[in-house]
Structure 1
Amino acid sequence: MSTEEQVREFGRVWAAAEERGDTVALAALATDGFRLVGPLGFVLDRDQWLARYDGGELVTEKLGWTEVEVRDFGGTAIAIGVHEQVATHRGNPVNGRFRATHVLVREDGRWRLAGIHLSPIGAPFVPGGDRR
């Protein structure tokens, strides 16, 4: 299986674990030094990222991971795609569509998630266009 196929499969497994709120599976997928940069610039370490599901604070009903482009750098892979979620946090909707960058590293022969960076998806950049 190619790196691209492995990383795409990893993404499917990750998204399914998020939908289940399965912190055991998510912990196994993430490196000890994992960091998430959220869409508003906040940073969560691995323990904070896993704790999102404690006590039902975060409920992810649906998580899509689509339009994924994978770049292979040997022991590191960068996957850039669209992360679309239907979720609630502390009962408040946190639905969204984000451009997401996943950084994966190969550890002991398997891919693990070292970082996720989420950004809101805005209008496309048009060279020479009005930037106001």
Structure 2
Amino acid sequence: MPSPKTLLVLLALAAAPFASAFAADPFEKIDGEWNALRQRADVDGLEKLMDERFVLVHSDGQVQHKADYIAELRNRTRVNGPILNEDVTVRAFGDTVIVNGVSVQSAVSNGQPWNGRFRFTRVWRQQGGAWKIVSSHSSRIAEKAR
């Protein structure tokens, strides 16, 4: 019978090919922080999380950059309600991670309430040991597509 130490080494070697498939899973927590900060309008937290070249493409085709989005939250022309993610997949490619999923959310923008289900793609990049969101895109899911 092999020793416990030998069994542990064999188990680690057997699991090695699968490690990259599971390595990105904890990333859902990092991506979830993006939603939490937006929900709280924590502009200081968002400033740290967002790359300087950040681009946000909304479901209506509107494009915002970091400064525009931060200003919108700071001056409360956009107030996010609950933001929940479903069916999230995370794929890692070296220092880049792509997160896809469905977001169920509501907000008030320029005094107009809205809500919906959206498919999203977010791109994150590790820079200087920290993960920064580089891009986010969403597409509204039509009622009949559900």
Q: Which TM-score bucket, shorter chain as reference?
A: 0.7 to 0.9
Q: What residue in structure 2 maps to residue 106 of structure 1? A: 126
Q: Larger relative contact order (C-alpha < 8 A, sep ≥ 6)?
A: 1
Q: What is the aligned residue count?
A: 123
Q: What residue in structure 2 maps to residue 3 of structure 1? A: 24
Structure of larger gyration radius: 2
Q: What residue in structure 2 maps to residue 24 of structure 1? A: 44
- TM superposition shift of 1:118: 0.6
Asked whether 1:68 is paired with 2:78, we answer no
- The amino acid across from 1:97 in the alignment is R
- Give distance in 2, aligned partners of 1:65 and 1:109: 26
- TM superposition shift of 1:40: 1.0
Q: What residue in structure 2 maps to residue 77 of structure 1? A: 97
User: Does the 8 Å CA contact 1:11/1:65 hold for their aligned counterparts?
Assistant: no
Q: CA RMSD in A?
A: 1.5
- The amino acid across from 1:47 in the alignment is A
> Runs of at least 4 residues of structure 1 off by over 2 A?
1-4
- Give distance in 1, aligned partners of 2:129 and 2:90: 18
Q: Percent of aligned positions with the same letter in both sequences?
A: 31
| Higher share in helix | 2
TM normalised by structure 2 equals: 0.78
Asked whether 1:92 is paired with 2:122, we answer no
Instruction: Name stretches of at least 5 consecutive residues in structure 2 with no aligned partner.
Output: 1-21
Query: Matched residue of 2:75: which SS?
Result: helix
Asked whether 1:52 is paired with 2:61, we answer no
User: Does the 8 Å CA contact 1:81/1:101 hold for their aligned counterparts?
Assistant: yes
- The amino acid across from 2:93 in the alignment is F
Instruction: Name stretches of at least 5 consecutive residues in structure 1 with no aligned partner.
Output: 125-132
